[in-house]
Homo-oligomer: A and B are copies of this chain.
């Protein structure tokens, strides 16, 4: 996945490393270090950091540098609360307009997800989950809401990734729920799909809150 500008390329890489946990929450992101690490100057790094700050993954304190946005149970709860409000609305709007190609792509994503589940490739799960959700909402014709939800999904990935290694049962339940949601959408049962989607997000939220409650982030 190549980008046309160095700044966006660096932005993608830093984003991936934050989601991977290679840059832990709260850690300093020094422009000079990142620049030399990517073999570029500091200015593309700066632009990438600004982009990431807008997405909520990075906090920039003027003259004090950039840090990876901290993880907190309250933030996770708010992100999931927003998802619970916005995503069912998007699904209700999008479901009637999904095409056969869309469902083919959804099936492919579900298969990739199952494969990642078998291989224990937790790194791919987050992006596949985000892609699947966004695909299901892609026909809602709400570009601004879609952008917001995309950022929320990325944020939630940071939390779920903490949880993945310890709680494999959650992944399987998510897989089952995903498949059921896609099935309901394909058969035209939009309202049932929305209800299940709301439950799905509630399940993720409850599981994550329980996990964060037992192991609060520093």
Give me the interface of A with B, judged by CB distance under 8 Å.
Answer: 4-5, 8, 43, 46-47, 50-51, 53-56, 62-63, 74-75, 78-79, 81-82, 85-86, 89, 141-145, 148
Query: Nearest CB to that of A51 among chain B residues?
Result: B50
5 additional A-B residue pairs with CB within 8 Å, beyond A54-B55, A85-B89: A5-B62, A50-B51, A74-B141, A78-B144, A82-B144
Contact call A145/B47, Cβ cutoff below 8 A:
no
Interchain CB contact under 8 A, B63 and A4? yes
Task: Give 13 pairs: A residue, B residue, CB < 8 Å, sorted on A.
Answer: A4-B62, A4-B63, A51-B54, A54-B55, A78-B142, A78-B144, A78-B145, A79-B144, A82-B144, A82-B145, A82-B148, A85-B85, A148-B148
CB < 8 Å neighbour of A50 from B50, B56, B145: B50
CB of A43 to closest CB in B, whole Å:
7
Instruction: Give Cα distance in the complex from A181 to B46, angstroms.
Output: 43
Distance of A43 Cα from B46 Cα, bound (Å): 10
Instruction: Please indicate the chain B residues that have their CB under 8 angstroms from the CB of A4 in the complex.
Output: 62-63
Contact call A56/B144, Cβ cutoff below 8 A: yes
Closest Cβ–Cβ distance, residue A205 to chain B (whole Å): 15
Q: Which residues of B contact A82 (CB under 8 A)?
A: 144-145, 148
> CA A45 – CA B89 in complex, angstroms?
37
Residues of B contacting A8 with CB < 8 Å?
62
- Chain B residues near A53 (CB-CB < 8 A): 54
Across the interface, which residues of B come within 8 angstroms of A85, CB to CB?
A: 85-86, 89
